[in-house]
Structure 1
């Protein structure tokens, strides 16, 4: 009788699929259990004190609703503070005189936008709500208070570095990856980001982007985006409907995109992403060892499949 023995190396060995499932269910720190997406995100970069969490909670308490496709800030506007996304999806973008635009970043719950605006007179990009959003405005004097809290300041600085690293990855996507690889990479990134803030259900999350938005992110035409989505569906990697993205095959999608989540610096959340589905995938397909599985925290583990004969 032939069987597969799976050993996952991440500081310890797990000898069976039951162990993998237990690893997947490991609880995160109590502070991460907060429903506030900003606290959940920033706790991944630095351990926040109770005072720092309270400050973020107070900022979040004063929020307002924004309609989809509303401009929050326009290029050339006077810089007068920052804001925190609490619900919905927004983007940074640059607009050409022809009307064409390039989306530079996606802002999900927990993301702060333009904390450095007090260092400049005018906005150098625009910000738009891509879906109905709830935002909290952060006046310049409150932004200045962040520097009085060392752990919070460190977390926000790390978040800014992640934004810069993500922009570099997006540039590489446009310059070196095929159309379908660009979209696959974007879907992997967005899944990990949503999972960290507790906004996923299984292997799915809200995804209100239109095909025109995907085109403006990836530098593709609408027709090319449509064909690439069809290819991802045909390969049974994703399902996209009713403003929700479902990842059907995390391992396959990650492999297609060559997705390495280290640039997101989420080492504080080193649980397996969709480990149960990954183990099932290994069991049902012939795989040459070693195969790599993604961690939410950016680290990667090695999966070794050993075959032995039992009579």
Structure 2
């Protein structure tokens, strides 16, 4: 490979044309990389129909990348999802459509307008499912927000819905883009995701023990009725656009509780009674799952599982969960 260049008297690995082609390739690859992460001011105005005034109002000052004035794609998408921006953009698209009809004809003008509308709709339609998925993923991984064995300790000694709600809310707060606000006790709803001061998702939680469902499979000690009342309350606040989720949690000790923890671990007698009735933790968990599944039959259960809480007071603890979407 390579050749001796008679003009320079040196050995070259690549010809000048190969070097130029490679440099062009690199420039194009670099340009494509920049375009995937950044949008130039020119493209904002030409392709996405922004104005200079809107750029200044919603995005501020651009940064420079390889001599181009650009904004991050993620920032632009966040703004284009907002109600305020869309309330500004939609009348502008109508105005541009009327202008384009005179200049290009109705068919071309319709194509231009529909392309812009499709872009806006793709943002708004993808935002709600993304919030839902982040909520579910964050709940499944919320154990990572606790110290080792902390969840087991809290589950055995307190009402577990609040510690889980709080860590879950902060995890979702970290994962969602900045246009969303994650709130606890929003209008007396346990957890809310809000955008432009309007709810996008509302979440209500209730906590029980696995023995509540296993020992009382018909009424489940009233916890499901209480959760359904909370769901109705949240639906009134949700309006037409927000999703409502309800979450049932169940502290599940994997062994009975020794006498020395009688005043430490809540409901020791009821926990131990369930072990005497069913024999072991696996049987209690199975009975609890069957009772909840029967009680929620016909409901939209979108996630279920268990969080491994660790060990406290020599007792291994899981927290079972079921998530319903109204």
TM-score with structure 2 length normalisation? 0.23
Q: More helix per residue: 1 or 2?
A: 2
Q: Answer with 1 or 2: which has the greater Rg.
A: 2
User: Quick one: higher RCO (CA 8 Å, sep 6+), 1 or 2?
Assistant: 1
